Amino acid sequence: MTRKTLPPLRVEDPAQFGKVAVLMGGWSAERDISLKTGAAVLAALKARGVDAHAVDPKDGFQRVLLDGGFDRAWIALHGRGGEDGTVQGALEFLSIPYTGSGVLGSAIGMDKVRTKQAFVAAGLKTPAYAVLKVDDPVGAAVEHIGLPMAVKPAHEGSSIGMTRVDDASLLAAAVAKAREFDRTVLLEEWIDGPEYTVGILEDVALPLIRIETPRTFYDYEAKYFSGDTQYHCPSGLPPALEDEYALASLAAFHAVGARCWGRVDFMVSDDDEPLFLEVNTLPGMTQTSLVPMAAARIGCDFAELAWRILETSMIDKGASST
């Protein structure tokens, strides 16, 4: 059975955290969403008495962190430069504790190809895929994967640069679109089954959320701006099957070296097998985001969730940064 009870709080006095930098913004394609996440987290921490301050890495954060006397960082960055191990490595170099996964887990989680390889090595199922590098031809992929397929940049989040391809004549344009964001492109078997997401906090799998969108897929617009996306939590799954999916999601989370908190996304095949898509080591954290939605189901409101994630900065990331 999955454990739906969070461990006891490590920190009860906000002064124990010291001065906290909420890193938000950055320079990735997901900057706008990061600013929303950061603003929500900053407000929640301040409401709980934490000495928290907004810091944008785009403004030269290393000098700001050192001169400002910050004791730890709540990473609210999405995408490259913040979610891929880069900032995590810089913070370790500066000896500043930070929230979430370490360097290795962050780097693998941001790389969709390496993530899939980790899933397969751990005995987990993932949709069939092919990888296109800069000069690779696109024709053989249709024969290998079939249609329809998803075409996406290998190192972006929030479905940025992603296209569903139903006709082989449209594949080259979809690959060109993905290459606007990344030199490496992932081609992936399209799964029409239901989509689920599992929030994870300190090795607790939060209640599953089933996602329904009338759009072609759960794209950037559906994630952040559309009012027509439906989120089902409880998911409607039989308890035993939800437990099975939750445990498999924890295995997927650990397979990439992620730790502390994050989110795992998967589709379900016709035979009820979970097909894992990706691990998000820094999911969105606004009042309408998925991890806060799931946490609320077990009585953890947004402010407490932000606090508990800040507590993960107290966890030693270890020499391997996993």
Enzyme catalytic residues: 30, 158, 224, 263, 265, 278, 280, 284
Q: Let me know: does 305 contact 201? Beta carbons within 8 Å.
A: yes
Tokens of 2: 């999955």
Nearest Cα neighbor of 196 from 266, 244, 256 is 266
**Dihedral (Cα; 77, 80, 85, 89), 10-degree rounding:** -80
Buried b (16+ CB within 10 A) or exposed e, 14-45: beebeebbbbbbbebbbbebbbbbbbbbbbbb
Q: List CB contacts of 316: < 8 A, sequence separation 6 or more.
A: none
**50, 95, 241 from 15: Cα distances, Å:** 7, 19, 42
Query: What is the 3-class SS of 156-213, one letter each residue?
Result: CCCCCCCEEECCHHHHHHHHHHHHCCCCCEEEEECCCCCEEEEEEECCEECCCEEEEC
Burial of 147 (0-12, 13-18, 19+ CB in 10 A): middle
**111, 155, 241, 255, 314 from 180: Cα distances, Å:** 17, 12, 40, 29, 38
User: Would you tell me how many other CB atoms lie within 10 Å of the CB of residue 210?
Assistant: 17
Q: Let me know: does 70 contact 20? Beta carbons within 8 Å.
A: yes
Tokens of 5: 């009870």
**67, 72, 222 from 53: Cα distances, Å:** 13, 11, 30
What residues pair up with 198 in beta bridges, in sequence order?
Answer: 264
